[in-house]
Amino acid sequence: MKKHSKTVILLLMSFWLLSGVTAQSSALAQIRSNALEIDAPDFVLNDLKGRKFKLSDYKGKPVLIIFSTTWCAYCRSEIPHFKSIYSTYGPKGLVVINIDIEESKEKVARFAARYQLPYRVLLDEDGSVSDAYRVMGVPSMTLIDKKGKLFCLYCRNMEPLLDKLFEETNKPAKK
């Protein structure tokens, strides 16, 4: 009887997880198509130099948030890609920030210096910002449009999204 109960519980948990993924995928598709107008959660974090970064201060500019940690091997392997995004889209007005989750300032500063990160690195020391953005793994990228709305959560193929965002940003206003 115990073996049967465990199987039923595992099946129910699998169904619950899969239904959540399906609902989340649907919501993400809507965000990517810019059909939803969801405000990005505002936050204030310190960067490595102790300066405050408040997201809402950057309304009017698109913002790419890269959530990462120093211990994540995949995060390290993606740094050249993140730098490429920064060098390509930064001059067009994209604000790129890296939010390091729950690590010490000293450790993150050594990491940023070692990998010569050209974008601003912020410290989410208590994990509250990554919680607000529902980060489930790293690296995780979130794109916010110039109106402060979520354009894409958990973004993977970033360049087409950025091209679309800048295409919309550069369209002349309708009269």
Relative to beta strand 63-68, strand 140-144 is: antiparallel
What does the mean pLDDT of the chain come to?
A: 83
The SS3 of residue 147 is coil
**Annotated domain spans of the chain:** 1-33, 38-169
Give the type of residue at 31: I
Residue 36's pLDDT is: 53
CA distance 56 to 42: 6
What are the distances in angstroms from CA 29 to CA 9, 22, 73, 128? 30, 11, 28, 25
Q: Model confidence at 169, in pLDDT bands (50, 70, 90)? A: low
CA distance 78 to 2: 45
Give 90 or 18, the one with higher predicted confidence: 90
Residue 165's pLDDT is: 81
Residue 18's pLDDT is: 43
Q: Which fold has domain 38-169?
A: Glutaredoxin (3.40.30)
Q: What is the pTM of this model?
A: 0.78
Lowest-pLDDT choice from 23-32, 82-91, 118-127: 23-32
Q: Model confidence at 82, in pLDDT bands (50, 70, 90)? A: very high
Q: Model confidence at 164, in pLDDT bands (50, 70, 90)? A: confident
Of 10-24, 27-41, 98-112, give the range with the top mean pLDDT.
98-112
CA distance 153 to 15: 23
Range 117-140 average pLDDT? 97
53-72 pLDDT per residue, tens: 999 999 999 999 999 999 99
Distance of CA 95 to the CA centre of its chain: 12
**65, 97 contact by CB (below 8 A):** yes
